[in-house]
Amino acid sequence: MYTQALNIKDDGPALVDAEREARFQARIDRDEKIEPNDWMPEKYRRTLVRQISQHAHSEVVGMLPEGNWITRAPSLRRKAALLAKVQDEGGHGLYLYSAAETLGTAREELLDQLLSGKAKYSSIFNYPALTWADIGMIGWLVDGAAIMNQIPLCRTSYGPYARAMIRICKEESFHQRQGYEIVMTLARGTDGQKAMAQEALNRWWWPALMMFGPPDSESQHTDQNMAWRIKRFTNDELRQKFVDATVPQGHFLGLAFPDPDLRFNEETGHWTFGAIDWDEFRRVLAGEGPCNRERLAARRKAHDEGTWVREAALAHAAKRRARRALQAAE
């Protein structure tokens, strides 16, 4: 088994599980990073594989709504920036699959889980990108929400995940700015362009708030993940931070948020917002969002069409290994 192939440091049979777990938790409480060969509770390992692989899948599925606009970008400059952004997302997927592999699950297995529909990816990528303004909204709101969630992940307790997130966040920050600049250009453009930006904001605002996950009262994993310092903030805390940062940015552009209950609360210093449609969120997670089927079909097609590349890479690696073995024997 792949897991057994890892050289996991063991503290010896004298330590019973409870003692091991207490020592593990003490390391977490001291803010020490957990590394691949360190002992860790099986549940910690499984939780990380689940979260990191869901994150990796989100990056690669996230390439689809934007990739669809590369040929239709309105200028060469926009096209170059969008191409770079979509390539960055592919790169993030690769770092994250590598981070997940350090926990003992092979990439093929993780990809199988995505392609069979067993593994989740972010709900947001099951919505369509209908106009150019959507590309701006994805950068401003989707990458903006991703940054809010991911900056604390740079301090997550598992070393390889934390280190991957540092570079990812730098790139996401550029993505957010390019999105905001697209929206700003439209918001300052003709009436038609401004209407396009407003219409896109109306469609993306609520799904962006759902990216942070279910409310804390319904979240299954938050308490344990906070104790293990995988998560540093709860879903609702991050959602509120995102709303507080984003609403003034939208108002600066003269755009209106599609929420009649959105108000600044002078006492708390936070924006209060209306009720999120959690039924819609659950439907999207259950595979019934506007684009779930289309996204999985696109990934399966890409995977099938990439078979020859994987086979060629494996054949090349086998040939190099054989050549090295021959050289060593000489």
Backbone φ, ψ for residue 265 (5° rounding)? -95, 110
Site for ligand BYC contains 157 (CB under 6 A): no
Which one, 63 or 197, has the nearer CB to ligand BYC? 63
Do the Cβ atoms of 139 and 161 come closer than 8 Å?
no
Question: Which residue of 213, 246, 247, 292 would you call a contact of ligand BYC, by CB under 6 A?
Answer: 213
Site for ligand BYC contains 169 (CB under 6 A): no
Stretch that binds ligand BYC, among 25-33, 58-66, 71-79, 311-319 (CB under 6 A): 58-66
Stretch that binds ligand BYC, among 24-32, 37-45, 214-222, 311-319 (CB under 6 A): 214-222
Measured between alpha carbons, how far is 125 from 49 in angstroms, rounded to an integer? 20
Measured between alpha carbons, how far is 118 from 126 in angstroms, rounded to an integer? 16
Subset of 272-291 contacting ligand BYC (CB under 6 A): 285
Which one, 58 or 102, has the nearer CB to ligand BYC? 58
Which one, 157 or 235, has the nearer CB to ligand BYC? 235
For residue 167, the SS3 value is: helix
Amino acid at 202: N
Site for ligand BYC contains 207 (CB under 6 A): no
Residue 180: which of 85, 108, 113 has the closest Cα? Answer: 85
The total of other beta-carbon atoms located within 10 Å of residue 71's CB is 7
Q: C-alpha angle 61/63/69, rounded to 5°?
A: 135
Q: Specify which residues 270 forms β-bridges with.
A: 265
Which one, 225 or 246, has the nearer CB to ligand BYC? 225
Stretch that binds ligand BYC, among 36-44, 55-63, 76-84, 300-308 (CB under 6 A): 55-63
Site for ligand BYC contains 122 (CB under 6 A): yes
Site for ligand BYC contains 58 (CB under 6 A): yes
Site for ligand BYC contains 210 (CB under 6 A): yes
Tokens of 292: 């779930």
Which one, 40 or 60, has the nearer CB to ligand BYC? 60
Which one, 60 or 196, has the nearer CB to ligand BYC? 60
Backbone φ, ψ for residue 119 (5° rounding)? -90, 150
What single DSSP character describes residue 140? I
Do the Cβ atoms of 114 and 299 come closer than 8 Å?
yes
Residues that bind ligand BYC (CB under 6 A): 50-51, 54-55, 58-59, 62, 89, 120, 122-123, 142-143, 146, 149, 210-214, 219-222, 225, 231, 235, 285
